[in-house]
């Protein structure tokens, strides 16, 4: 029996997903690095704790409204998992990084300490049987060398006052590393099929609660009247939270914890590029060289296959039964004047 139906909508859907999988790491690096711009906007007019609080005062209700409109439902096991990941990957990481800067730690030193994360994640995952071999080790070493070049001498010129800041930066790095490892080793309940949107919604509520307690207890909850502050909040919510954390969770799910951590090697140099473009800060040649070296390390570590096996093309199986078109697609094209068989609409 000759089958003339081609699932064009399904093909385009698969092509779109494949394109997003390939583009997501680059988006992750750009969006994650954009947090530097928002923090720079807000720093002259508000303490870091105030900025972090209002970032989630805006983001969390927005995410809750979206998931309620979509009628999402979450079981207690899923909520527990995402609450832990949100406390580690968002609240713990951001608080550590912002406190490090407030303690006077140079940005280059903070970036260098944060770049220890991929190697730490790789070591921890190897303890659970996820061994990467010599190629992964070499790539991680090259990536770290690139970060050291990108941050340049600033990483080594911190004053003695930066010791407390270094501790906070390490704690933030450990918190994000723990979230990356747990996110892989602690799978969500099989019965609940949730995506990045759901994770962002639950985790943002947890982060809001954390920063609300910190800000209120320190007397730093009130926002300043300066409009620059609200520009910074809009930037941090739209690019750093929705874009940065959204892509982080997506890349982690599709490529694994070591891969998503390794892509962060590129963020110090890209943050410098943001500063050059937005604030006219100098972009040293050494930073550009460090970016190239880090990129080489990332490409070495990058796994070739992605999680999940694409569904086999039904046209290769020679099956006589033709699947129905996805909801929202038009009628299938046909040739030779032969009318296609009527197929009931999808129940999905």
Q: Based on C-alpha coordinates, what's the Rg of the chain?
A: 23
* pLDDT band, very low/low/confident/very high, at 341 (cuts 50, 70, 90): very low
- Non-local CB neighbours of 13 within 8 Å, separated by 6+ positions: 326
Helix/strand/coil for 193: coil
Most confident of 33-47, 104-118, 209-223: 209-223
Higher pLDDT, 256 or 107: 256
> What's the length of the chain?
348
Q: What is the reported pTM?
A: 0.76
pLDDT tens, residue by residue, 9-67: 555 556 666 777 789 999 999 999 888 888 888 888 999 899 999 999 999 999 999 99
The closest of 175, 240, 229, 165 to 204, measured between CA atoms, is: 240
- Non-local CB neighbours of 140 within 8 Å, separated by 6+ positions: 118, 119, 122, 262, 297, 301
Q: 51 near 241, Cβ under 8 Å?
A: no
pLDDT tens, residue by residue, 218-258: 999 999 999 999 999 999 999 999 999 999 999 998 888 88
CA atoms within 13 A on the CB side of 344: 3
* Residue 345 reports pLDDT greater than 70: no
The closest of 231, 188, 214 to 84, measured between CA atoms, is: 188
Q: 31 near 247, Cβ under 8 Å?
A: yes
Q: Cα separations (Å) of 17 from 12, 96, 168, 257, 269?
A: 9, 34, 38, 20, 28
Burial of 36 (0-12, 13-18, 19+ CB in 10 A): buried
- DSSP letter string over 205-264? HHHHHHHHHHHHHTT--SPPS-HHHHHHHHHIIIIIIIIIIHHHHHHHHHH-HHHHHHHG
* Residue 343 reports pLDDT greater than 60: no
Helix/strand/coil for 282: coil
Compute φ and ψ for 48, nearest 5 degrees: -60, -40
Residue with tokens 């890349």: 251
H-helix or E-strand containing 115? none
Q: Give the pLDDT confidence score for residue 334 in this predicted structure.
A: 46
Question: Percentage of the chain surpassing pLDDT 90?
Answer: 37
Higher pLDDT, 241 or 299: 241
Report the pLDDT averaged over residues 91-115.
81
- Non-local CB neighbours of 127 within 8 Å, separated by 6+ positions: none
């Amino acid at each position: 029996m000759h089958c003339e139906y081609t699932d064009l909508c399904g093909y385009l859907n698969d092509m779109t997903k494949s394109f997003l999988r390939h583009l997501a790491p680059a988006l992750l690096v750009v969006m994650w690095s954009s947090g530097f711009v928002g923090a720079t906007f807000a720093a002259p007019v508000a303490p870091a704790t105030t900025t972090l609080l209002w970032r989630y005062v805006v983001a969390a209700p927005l995410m809750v409204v979206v998931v309620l409109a979509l009628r999402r439902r979450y079981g207690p096991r899923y909520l527990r998992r995402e609450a832990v990941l949100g406390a580690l990957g968002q609240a713990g990481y951001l608080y550590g990084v912002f406190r490090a800067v407030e303690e006077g730690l140079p940005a280059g030193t903070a970036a260098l300490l944060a770049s220890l994360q991929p190697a730490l994640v790789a070591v921890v995952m190897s303890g659970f049987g996820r061994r990467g071999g010599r190629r992964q080790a070499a790539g991680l070493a090259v990536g770290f060398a690139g970060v050291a070049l990108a941050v340049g001498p600033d990483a080594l010129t911190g004053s003695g006052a930066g010791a407390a800041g270094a501790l906070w930066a390490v704690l933030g790095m450990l918190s994000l590393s723990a979230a990356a490892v747990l996110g892989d080793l602690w799978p969500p309940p099989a019965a609940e099929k949730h995506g990045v949107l759901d994770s962002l919604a639950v985790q943002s509520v947890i982060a809001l609660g954390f920063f609300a307690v910190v800000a209120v207890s320190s007397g730093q909850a009130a926002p300043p009247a300066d409009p620059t502050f609200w520009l910074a909040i809009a930037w941090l919510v739209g690019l750093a939270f929705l874009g940065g954390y959204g892509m982080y969770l997506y890349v982690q799910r599709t490529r694994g914890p070591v891969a998503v951590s390794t892509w962060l090697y590129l963020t110090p140099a890209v943050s410098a590029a943001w500063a050059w473009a937005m604030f006219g800060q100098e972009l040293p040649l050494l930073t550009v060289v460090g970016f190239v070296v880090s990129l080489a390390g990332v490409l070495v570590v990058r796994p070739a296959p992605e999680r999940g096996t694409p569904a086999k093309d039904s046209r290769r199986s020679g099956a006589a039964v033709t699947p129905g078109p996805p909801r929202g697609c038009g009628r299938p094209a046909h040739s030779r004047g032969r009318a296609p068989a009527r197929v009931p609409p999808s129940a999905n």
